[in-house]
A and B are shown apart, each in its own frame.
Chain A
């Protein structure tokens, strides 16, 4: 790294959980729930990034690639239909090249009224090592590709495969993006310290991400469903003090497998029936937060 590395990146100001100003969600709901399906395209034989290997095995990594391709052929459709059935819109973490490769999936999400934010070009192209011009290029590519495919201007970012540079967040704000899903320090939105403009960190989650559930914590489908319900119940309870946010980050090739989708349905039923959830999209949560706090929290 030629640029100076900082022990304290100074991403945000410390704000203790006790005694925070009250955030109120619409209709006196206590927990804003958003579902974040990752709609991705992985390359079979991607170019090599010197800072991170793409596939664990030599190319072609047949299981790695084909497991993820299950998303676009099979499990997106299963997952999306279930979300719609229970009234959950998606806020999509999108490999924007999916707009070029498999527009059917992007079109489906668009028709369901889902919101798109960028998850990079491919989930096999990483930001590590990019210079500023290169990083600007992938942000501009994301904005124009999604706008062309869906008519939406992206408002958010989840770094491709969670690969960042120290300038990523400043650039996002400079391009007018409103939120990042890359910071995991809170259960409420946070104002991010950026050089210019304004950027809000919206709670995403690795802990209750289906990938962590199934491959870090090795949960069964029913254990994962129970985890999501406990997460929701607690956040909805604490949200009476000040509104909380729960994200359900999904990969359809995981949650949409035939042994998992049924148990997952119980989660959506539980949250939809509970009455305390503001079931919405990421941009709406960021807007409500900023209206109340000016983004200054």
Chain B
């Protein structure tokens, strides 16, 4: 038995990354960033606002949180709808109490189905970023490029019609991309994406369709990962976020401004038995003078201005 000789050849083995998207760069070798209002740590809340059609699509893959039983899966369909009816309002209320504006990563069908919700989000000063069409709009390699381009355009233009301007940011479902995604996003005029989790600050990402910025939305610090996947309590979640904030604040001296992504899911965090613990967590952050809350677009602008 042996392997094909190609298996022991390494054509990309050399200095730097094994692709051309970004050069290697250590977080600790950069010019320190300054955030507005003397904040040292910016918490970046991103709420995923999702619609799960009751007939799931497995091509290219079924989204996390999607239907699980034989048709009709009322239990998951309605439990996800709990997020868009109740959970989202609890989360928005929590951020209103601390005067924070956040990024909301919305499936574009939410704009057609629940226009009032989108209107309220916008009028409260939050940012809408594009999050595909609905939870059947997953992306992965193998997808036809024209289909992917059409899906991205559909999501962006639907949201644009609803909110009056084109979203500046994009989050893929499950952060899953094809080899074309970043290029198609750049060509569609998207300024930043949130899918790559390899850094803790924004960084430039080169594609054949031009440059785009990646703002890493740490998946390990998401409510989905900590509460759903790792089965931790809200108290443990809150402890982990506080430990993260404490550590990052310590690093701001001497390394400069840091950010803490807080990826939230209305049907996970917006439950009655979790929301109070969450409110306590962000109220604690709001009391710390050196911590602020920021939307993705303002982090992008601030970072770009300092490059």
Interface residues of A, Cβ cutoff 8 Å to B? 1-3, 41, 43-45, 47, 49-50, 57-60, 62-63, 65-70, 72-74, 77-78, 97, 100-104, 121-122, 125, 129-131, 133-134, 137-138, 214, 218-222, 257-263
> A80 → chain B, closest Cβ, in Å?
10
Cβ 8 A contact of A101, one of B16, B196, B200, B251: B16
> A2 → chain B, closest Cβ, in Å?
5
Q: Decide if B297 is an interface residue (CB 8 Å cutoff).
A: no
- Sorted nearest first, the 6 A-B pairs with minimum C-beta distance are A131-B2, A69-B198, A259-B244, A66-B198, A258-B244, A218-B230
Are B13 and A214 in contact (CB-based, < 8 A)? no
Are B13 and A101 in contact (CB-based, < 8 A)? yes
Which segment of B103-111, B125-133, B214-222, B285-293 sits at the interface?
A: B214-222
**A134 to chain B: which residues have CB within 8 Å?**
2-3, 7-8
Knowing A43-B12, A63-B219, A121-B10 touch, does A73 contact B199 (C-beta < 8 A)? yes
Q: Decide if B268 is an interface residue (CB 8 Å cutoff).
A: no
**Bound Cα distance A100, B27 (Å):** 20
> B25 → chain A, closest Cβ, in Å?
7
Are B1 and A220 in contact (CB-based, < 8 A)? no
Are A259 and B19 in contact (CB-based, < 8 A)? no
User: Which single residue of chain A is at the shortest CB-CB distance from B201?
Assistant: A74
Q: Decide if B229 is an interface residue (CB 8 Å cutoff).
A: yes
Are B176 and A70 in contact (CB-based, < 8 A)? no
**Bound Cα distance A31, B4 (Å):** 45
Q: Which of A44, A72, A222, A258 has the most CB of B within 10 A?
A: A258
Contacts across chains A and B counted by CB atoms under 8 Å = 156
> B28 → chain A, closest Cβ, in Å?
5
- Known interface pairs A73-B24, A121-B10, A218-B231; 12 further A-B residue pairs with C-beta atoms within 8 A, sorted by A's residue number: A47-B7, A49-B3, A58-B178, A62-B195, A67-B198, A100-B15, A101-B13, A104-B26, A220-B232, A221-B240, A222-B243, A259-B247
Are A222 and B17 in contact (CB-based, < 8 A)? no
User: Which single residue of chain A is at the shortest CB-CB distance from B12?
Assistant: A43
Chain B, 172-226, CB within 8 A of any chain A CB = 172, 174-179, 195-200, 216, 218-221, 226
> B207 → chain A, closest Cβ, in Å?
13
Can you offer 8 A-B residue contacts whose CB atoms are under 8 A? A44-B17, A57-B176, A63-B174, A63-B175, A70-B198, A74-B27, A100-B14, A218-B231
- B229-254 vs A, Cβ < 8 Å mask (1 yes, 0 no): 11110001001110111111001000
Q: Decide if B60 is an interface residue (CB 8 Å cutoff).
A: yes
Cβ 8 A contact of B240, one of A58, A78, A259: A259
**Bound Cα distance A133, B236 (Å):** 51
